[in-house]
Amino acid sequence: MRMSVSQDFAAGLLLLAFGVAGLWIGADYPMGTAQRPGTGVLPMILSWCLVGTGVLLWIKTAIAGSARLTPWAWRPAILITLATVAFALLVDRLGLLVAMLVSMTFAALGTPETRWREYIPFALLMLALGVGLFIYALGMPITALPAGYPWK
């Protein structure tokens, strides 16, 4: 049986790789008991789910085939990754508002289909919802504005 590199085959390989990496990284985490599960239980379960999903995708590809692998769209992959990293690096130093705004802007730059007239009201709405939900409703210890900002 000849199996060509297809989208499902590549996705299955990626899921399998992440699952095996999770099992390897979490191998030393304590499992605990059934009554008191340790910190390693959830990562192990999730890792096995990734491995199983990857194997199922491989089986599906072997039986039914799949669409051929197409070239990757690098712009969205890079900018969404950059948006996530920017949020993580900025939220403690510059506050939730700045981190959200920078992150959403990077994500919006990930596609040429972004309509900036629609993005601005959307961003304002998301900023208000983010501050309202995370800071006021959930009481998370995050500042809304940069430390030392006069309107704080």
Is residue 50 within 8 Å of 41, Cβ to Cβ?
Answer: no
Nearest Cα neighbor of 91 from 82, 101, 81 is 101
For residue 52, how far is the Cα from the chain centroid?
20
Do residues 80 and 102 share a domain?
Answer: yes
pLDDT band, very low/low/confident/very high, at 8 (cuts 50, 70, 90) = confident
Q: Is the Cα torsion angle 37, 40, 44, 46 positive or negative in sign?
A: positive
pLDDT tens sequence across 66-98: 777 778 788 999 999 999 999 999 999 999 999
Shared-domain flag, residues 80 and 131? yes
Q: How far apart are CA 15 and CA 22, in angstroms?
A: 10
Q: Residue 14 is which amino acid?
A: L
The whole-number pLDDT of residue 152 equals: 46
**pLDDT tens string 115-145:** 999 999 999 999 999 999 999 998 888 888 8
In whole numbers, what is the pLDDT of the chain averaged over residues?
Answer: 89
Same domain, 45 and 78: no
Rounded distance, CA 38 to CA 30, Å? 5
Residue 109 belongs to domain spanning: 74-137
Angle, CA of 75, 80 and 7, to the nearest 5°: 65
Task: Name the domain boundary from 43, 64, 85.
Answer: 64
Tell me if 145 is assigned to some domain. no
Instruction: Say how many Å lie between the first and final Cα of the chain, rounded.
Output: 65
Domain count, the chain: 2
Whether 27 and 65 have beta carbons less than 8 Å apart is answered as no
Q: Are 83 and 54 in a shared domain?
A: no
Residues 28, 46: Cα–Cα separation, whole Å: 16
